Amino acid sequence: MTNEKKISIIGVPMDLGQLRRGVDMGPSAIRYAGISERLEALQYEVEDCGDIEINKKHAVHSENTNLKNLKSVAEASTKLAEKVDNVIQSGSFPLVLGGDHSIAIGTLAGVAKHYHNLGVIWYDAHGDLNTAETSPTGNIHGMPLAVSIGLGHEALTGLYSPSPKVKPENIVIIGARDLDEGEKALIKEQGIKVYTMHEVDRLGMTKVIEETIEYLREKTDGVHLSLDLDGLDPSDAPGVGTPVIGGISYRESHLAMEMLAESGLITSAEFVEVNPILDEKNKTASVAVALMASLFGSKLL
Ligand SMILES: NC(=[NH2+])NCCC[C@H](N)C(=O)O
Ligand SMILES: [Mn+2]
Ligand SMILES: [Mn+2]
């Protein structure tokens, strides 16, 4: 992790990037599971910035686009980008709590202001590389990675900082097992590095993260971790809106976070898609908190 011992928590109660209500309560569930206390116990100075305001009043179908809730998502993303930008400027580490994965649009727009060669680790069952043309759903939470490389509605790609926010060759997707056809084509066309579950099983998480660290260390000046809890297996993280069986285990995820902590590479992070309505006794929020603690250097001994 970075040398600065200050972490700023930013909650984003966003549920407009997909259809299942309840994910807007993710930040509350993660706070309830004790995120501040866990990080303070690791000797960090923790500032909770509260939540970004989400305007839920706009109509679902905005101006001639099949993107659902475009206006509200764009507005919230802009507010989030500004907040993340300010946090980094103040020398603190931005830790963003979702909310659905559409919030990565805002996080990356803010982070990108500070790095010429930003790296991104996308820990997810999905690629989130859809555009209006390829999306089977019109849900913006399936699009943030495409937006960050400059593909998609200009109300999203052009948001807050110049597009693209990230170069495709600076991205590593880990845990993919549900990719739409258009996403597969885009991955090949853009040369995005992907460790699907096939590679995670075959190589083991140790090798996957070792290679990821080596790949990104050479060419990036900062690395953002975007962790979608549905990257984990639904048996370990049941409280997500789009679960996919055959995912990464809790233990593998811990190992991944500990190795990333050791690498000192991660400069910003977000944990998304925790939906307490679909959860079992806040299990998924607790898993998220445990993984964040590992990412910030907690060890058993
Ligand atoms: N962040 C997520 N959970 N994304 C799920 C996306 C699912 C599907 N690929 C879609 O575009 O709608
Ligand atoms: Mn996902
Ligand atoms: Mn996702």
Domain membership of residue 246 (yes or no) is: yes
pLDDT on residue 39: 97
**Residue minimizing CA distance to atom 8 of ligand 1:** 142
**The domain that contains 237 carries what CATH number?**
3.40.800.10
- What is the percent of the chain where pLDDT is above 90? 93
Q: Phi first, then psi: what are they for 88, rounded to 5°?
A: -65, -40
Domain membership of residue 111 (yes or no) is: yes
pLDDT on residue 56: 85
Closest C-alpha to 245, from 129, 101, 142, 125: 125
Distances (CA, A) of 152 to 70, 80, 133, 145, 189: 11, 19, 9, 10, 16
Domain membership of residue 31 (yes or no) is: yes
Distances (CA, A) of 248 to 39, 170, 232, 252, 287: 24, 22, 4, 6, 13
Q: Phi first, then psi: what are they for 195, rounded to 5°?
A: -105, 100
Domain membership of residue 165 (yes or no) is: yes
- Give 91-126 as a DSSP string: TPEEEEEESSGGGHHHHHHHHGGG-SSEEEEEESSS
Q: Which ligand approaches the C-alpha of residue 244 most closely?
A: 2
Q: Measure the CA–CA gap between 75 and 156, rounded to whole angstroms.
A: 9
pLDDT on residue 300: 72
Mutation to probe ligand 1, out of 100, 128, 177 (largest number of atoms < 8 A from CB): 128
* C-alpha of residue 45 to centroid of ligand 2, in Å: 30
Q: Measure the CA–CA gap between 133 and 66, rounded to whole angstroms.
A: 9
**Residue minimizing CA distance to atom 10 of ligand 1:** 142
Domain membership of residue 270 (yes or no) is: yes
> Which amino acid is it at 98?
G
Confidence band for 60, pLDDT divided at 50, 70 and 90:
low
Q: Is residue 244 within 8 Å of 209, Cβ to Cβ?
A: no
Q: What is the mean pLDDT of the chain?
A: 96
Instruction: Tell me, using a 6 A CB cutoff, whether residue 282 lines ligand 1.
Output: no
Structure tokens at 153: 């509605």
Structure tokens at 210: 């070792």
Domain membership of residue 70 (yes or no) is: yes
State the pTM of this model. Answer: 0.97
Domain membership of residue 198 (yes or no) is: yes
Question: What DSSP character marks residue 162?
Answer: P
Q: 2-17, pLDDT tens digit by residue?
A: 445 999 999 999 999 9
On whether 124 is known to bind a ligand per the annotation, the reply is: yes
pLDDT over 70 at 82, yes or no: yes
Task: Please give the tally of structural domains in the chain.
Answer: 1
Question: What DSSP character marks residue 295?
Answer: H
Question: What DSSP character marks residue 19?
Answer: S
Confidence band for 57, pLDDT divided at 50, 70 and 90:
confident
* Residues acting as catalytic residues: 101, 124, 126, 128, 141, 228, 230, 273
Instruction: Tell me, using a 6 A CB cutoff, whether residue 130 lines ligand 1.
Output: yes
Q: 262-292, pLDDT tens digit by residue?
A: 999 999 999 999 999 999 999 999 999 999 9
Q: Which domain holds residue 29?
A: 6-295
Domain membership of residue 21 (yes or no) is: yes
ipTM of the complex: 0.96
Instruction: Tell me, using a 6 A CB cutoff, whether residue 85 lines ligand 1.
Output: no
